[in-house]
Amino acid sequence: MSDSILIKNIRAVDVGFDKICDIFIGEGKIIEIADEIKTTADTVIDGSGLVAIPSLFDMHVHFRDPGYTYKEDILTGAKSALAGGFTGVACMPNTNPVIDSVETVEYIIDKAKDTGVNVYPVGCITKGMMGEELCDYNMLKEAGVVAVSDDGRPVRNAEIMRQALEKSNKNKLLVISHCEDMDIIGKGIVHKGFISEQLGVEGMDRASEDSITAREIALANAVKSRVHIAHVSTEGSVDFIKSAKEMGVKVSCETCPHYFMLTHKKLLSKDADYRMNPPLREERDREAVYTGIIDGTIDCIVTDHAPHSKEDKSDFMNAPNGVVGLETSLSATLTAFYHTGMLKLDRIIELMSVNPRRLLGLPLEKIKEGNIANIAIVDLDREWTVEPEKLVSKSKNTAFKGMKLKGKPVATISEGKLVYSILENISNT
């Protein structure tokens, strides 16, 4: 017998569902949803003032395992995910070794099996992420990958990318493209603009992203295949994707909270925690990304959770790019969209739970009787200041440090188990 959970007087929200109710959970499933449930349970949660939503899914994280576990590992990454309301993630393949073999896929899945988080590996597009020879997609899919990407770099050769998209049509694996032209980027470390000029450092022109985004759209259209554009950050990419969707191209895309909340002005501090790929850009790019979420051009909000140690990030000029984001993602999204009245909560659920799972062909989580109990409990009105040292992640390189956000996950239920909680109104029998 698994432990039972009774959540009393909570607002349950899902796509097409919004009501104050009780939720009874047992044997890993949602047993009953009703106005009032009179039963005993091992754990009773007073949900007054809180909201229950389907658990979140992040289709773009880096857990650094295998190979770079001093930054993060599957166990600490999963704990960070649970603290953010996530019970599922897709981890990118730029590990060491990269995810281009059955052995590495099996290692990741096996290590994650008892964490409370479903960790789905993303396989490489090309062997060794070298951009020269396609991986065996059928083999990788059978082993458990849910998509392919050479994330961290683009596939430089357009014909190789065209072949990847063509091949993906046959085995239904989503191809995720990291859209940055490395020749345009050159030695750039921040966005190319007036901030890079003030800092006296080389910049990354937005054309690096726009040109590869346009290429991927053209290639996907040519072979009538799906393509997913990772971490959209420019006005141009948003416009290209919007036009392509209107033309019927099978393109989807994602962005991250730092691209709709922050700009390259943060780099004036010469703090490497504000460096990532693609970089923070200008206000017009931020506005375009923000609008792209509202009008439906952007399908998913992800984190691109990219842990780096304090030592890694200590040198602004030479630090690796990337920021952590699992524990701030929902809070930032609520702050930017829900509390400004720009998006309703069910739309945020689509962006952070429904759409990522749908794109990867995974079962959807629902607040529904008979479904697996994967639920995030959220305090929509809790204001908190991001303190890096209090993050669960092994690394603390957050771009939201010191920011006050409104809304916070306070508990996560995974397959009927309360696996994360900072709840106060809870009792155990």
Tell me the pairing of strands 118-121 and 86-91.
Answer: parallel
Known catalytic residue: 239?
A: no
Tell me the pairing of strands 17-26 and 29-34.
Answer: antiparallel
Residue matched to tokens 């990354």: 204
Residues 280 and 261: their CA atoms lie apart, in Å, by 10
Residues 298 and 90: their CA atoms lie apart, in Å, by 18
The three-point CA angle 18-21-26 to 5° equals 110
What does the radius of gyration of the chain's CA atoms come to, in whole angstroms? Answer: 21
Structure tokens that stand for 116 in this block: 């409370």
Phi-psi category of 159—alpha, beta or left, where left has phi over 0 and alpha has psi -120 to 50?
Answer: alpha
Q: Looking at this protein, which amino acid is placed at residue 429?
A: T
Sign of CA dihedral 381, 386, 390, 391: positive
Catalogue the E-assigned strands of 265-306.
300-301
Residue matched to tokens 């895309």: 253
- What angle in degrees, to the nearest 10, is found between the helix axes of 235-247 and 283-294? 30
Phi and psi torsions of 212, nearest 5°: -75, -35
User: DSSP secondary structure string, 308-335?
Assistant: --TTTTS-TTTPPP-BB-TTTHHHHHII
Q: Give me the catalytic one of 58, 151, 210, 304.
A: 304
Contact 194, 140 (CB under 8 A): no
Active site residues: 304
